[in-house]
Structure 1
Amino acid sequence: MQCSPPGTYRGAIDVLTKIVRNEGFRALYKGATPPAVGWAAIDSVLLGSLHNYRLFLVRQGMTEPTPGSGIQRLTLFGHGIAGLMAGCTSAFIATPVELLKVKLQLQSQRSVAERRFKGPVHCATQIIRVQGIQGLYSGFTGSLAFRVNFFWMFLSFEALMRGFTSLSGTRFEISTGSANFLSGGLAAFSYWIMAIPADNLKNRMMAYPYPSPYPYPSENTTVSRLSLYRTARDIFRRDGYSGFFRGLGPCLLRAFPVNASAFFVYEGVMRLLDAEKTRH
């Protein structure tokens, strides 16, 4: 929806029906390999650095007393800053992975033999041959702009967790695991609402030169990389402000189950390992 030429699709349902009709059900899983492999590393860096940034900010005094106990804890703003820095750190791994995913998903040929890229390894090889290793970082500034919005996710998650904690001792009290699940899912809504403009920028930068075919390597082959400013200008000229929010519906549909499950597992593992805590 974000990268295809204007008029290609009328909405998410139209995308679904056209992909299945023209390419088959399996086409819904195009580009699955890069995130299936790469997101393990991306999320490890994201959440591992998040934890360490939280501890760093605690040591720097960005704390407040916990109501009832007086124990110092990281402030809500500190949780947001830790999320922002973790998002920027993970962008160095996320950019090549998401670039390959975008390139593979935009190929609409039904037969694999007709596609420019046969798979993620072949795609990476062709990009490097044409643009060099730096070609794998096309859209890096867009990726940074997108991932700084983890500020909102982790700030919202902590705020929601504190809200659920305040229900302790009342008939609305829920378990810590349930609070993690609900907080993670709800925090994802604030994340995507804030991040979707940058997501459009990032994906369109990575899709370039689509819909023109990606050139075959030759001595005269050159592929420029779009700047963040030029991409934003082109979106506004073509679609106005609404163009920056294209694809928000599908992102919100997946946001709750994906992130609720992720936070439930992450927070559960942290408790299981008895890791040093920034939340009391």
Structure 2
Amino acid sequence: MKEEEEATHALTNITPIQQMMASSAGALITSLFVTPLDVVKIRLQAQSKPFTKGKCFVYCNGLMDHLCVCMNGNSKAWYKAPPGRFAGTADAFVQIIRNEGVRSLWSGLPPTLVMAIPATAIYFTCYDQLRDLLIHRMDNTEAACLIAGATARLGSATLISPLELIRTKMQSRPLSYRELTLCIRSSVANEGWLSLWKGWGPTILRDVPFSALYWYNYELVRKWLCQRYNQTETTLKISFAAGAVSGSIAAVVTLPFDVVKTRRQVELGELEVLQSSQKRTSSTWKIMYMIMSENGFRGLFAGLIPRLIKIAPACAIMISSYEFGKAFFRKLNSERQLKVL
């Protein structure tokens, strides 16, 4: 009897391919919803860095202002004074829409989708596989979730880091694809291919603990909600709520590393354009010290509100979509198994 149950469970359980399909669909929905919030967050974080001498805004593509360095006059470019700083999240939304158009809130969406779908598919599939493996070897489910989450995120973040850098550059200061290509080529020529992993250190410092905290807290909150509402299985509402709560907690704890990552990545190409030999600060902790010196301790938490506004629904939408997708495939596999029997 027990062998029959195990065989049936194996056949009705979803495959890694189905896990990847479920996570990819969730990534698509989440990216479309939270990209405007991510754009605002990056703009707020990027403006905390003082402008380099000689830098101004050049309006050159008919839609958005490009932040760049003016080395000399150019009759083909229209120079204009830098606009006022964003006073907050709501002000950033208003100014971006007013000055750049609604479409600018989805700037960087193509590389976001190119990055999010494979990264999420790799991440969630690896997490589920590692978690199931660790649960069989450990008595503590929460600890297994923590380890699996950290390990899966380390691998996926390393693979996707170059695309993350490109997305951040497109969102922090609007660039045409031609300008972005020149910027990347200049960085690779001067610093080598490893420059494409610029910001990898603070990204790992942010994403690995975020993932570990997220899955640990998600498991705790999910179990608590199931017990509170007398549910034997995790419902869509419980997944949504647990994802929002656990994502918010992890976002607050890891925000300083997100600020450092954004600052390091938006610097790509600036010194090359200035033709400066000045050495960039490479240490994460030195950058943190610089941020605190310039903007105080609050500078490490720049963009907190838009990050929370983004992370809470993003985690909720992603995990609930993923669980819904897995439930769909389990039902599909179960129906196929019944037809076979």
> What TM-score do the two structures reach when normalised by structure 1?
0.79
- Residue 237 (structure 1) aligned with residue 296 (structure 2): no
2:101 corresponds to which residue? 24
1:181 corresponds to which residue? 240
Q: Deviations over 1:120-141 (max 9, x none)?
A: 6555444333432211100110
Unmatched tracts of structure 2, length 5 or more = 1-43, 51-83, 332-341
Deviation (angstroms), 1:163 = 0.9
Change (3 A) 1:130 1:223: farther
Q: Give the share of equivalent positions with the same residue, in percent.
A: 22
For residues 259-270 of structure 1, what are the structure 2 equivalents within 5 Å? 259-270=315-326
Q: Quick one: distance in 2 between partners of 1:118 and 1:236?
A: 35
Deviation (angstroms), 1:22 = 2.7
Task: Report the residue type matching 1:8 in the other structure.
Answer: R
Cα pair 1:138 1:225 within 8 Å, conserved: no
2:335 corresponds to which residue? none
1:156 corresponds to which residue? 217
Change (3 A) 1:168 1:89: same
Q: Quick one: distance in 1 between partners of 2:158 and 2:268?
A: 22
Deviation (angstroms), 1:243 = 1.0
1:133 corresponds to which residue? 193
Q: Deviations over 1:193-252 (max 9, x none)?
A: 112111111111111257xx352599x978746321221111111122211111010111
Deviation (angstroms), 1:150 = 1.0
Deviation (angstroms), 1:39 = 0.6
- Residue 40 (structure 1) aligned with residue 83 (structure 2): no
Q: Quick one: distance in 1 between partners of 2:297 and 2:114?
A: 34
2:203 corresponds to which residue? 143
- Residue 62 (structure 1) aligned with residue 138 (structure 2): yes
Q: Quick one: distance in 2 between partners of 1:160 and 1:242?
A: 29
For residues 101-250 of structure 1, what are the structure 2 equivalents within 5 Å? 101-107=167-173, 115=175, 118=178, 123-148=183-208, 149-169=210-230, 176-208=235-267, 213=270, 215=272, 224=280, 226-250=282-306
Task: Report the residue type matching 1:77 in the other structure.
Answer: A
Q: Quick one: distance in 1 between partners of 2:279 and 2:106?
A: 27
Q: Quick one: distance in 2 between partners of 1:167 and 1:228?
A: 42
Q: Which has the larger radius of gyration?
A: 2
Q: Deviations over 1:51-98 (max 9, x none)?
A: 122123224x3214xxxxxxxxx2x12212221222212211232122
Q: Quick one: distance in 1 between partners of 2:159 and 2:181?
A: 16
The aligned length equals 253
Q: Deviations over 1:105-157 (max 9, x none)?
A: 2225xxxxxx5753665554443334322111001101101111111111111
Q: Quick one: distance in 2 between partners of 1:268 and 1:217?
A: 50
Change (3 A) 1:163 1:207: same
- Residue 253 (structure 1) aligned with residue 330 (structure 2): no
Q: Deviations over 1:147-205 (max 9, x none)?
A: 111111111111111012213548xx996222112211222111211121111111111
> What TM-score do the two structures reach when normalised by structure 2?
0.66
- Residue 81 (structure 1) aligned with residue 142 (structure 2): no
1:112 corresponds to which residue? none
Unmatched tracts of structure 1, length 5 or more = 65-73, 109-114, 276-280
**Larger RCO: 1 or 2 (CA < 8 Å, sep 6+):** 2
Change (3 A) 1:45 1:223: farther
Q: Quick one: distance in 2 between partners of 1:137 and 1:223?
A: 17
**Structure with the largest fraction of helix:** 2
Change (3 A) 1:154 1:140: same
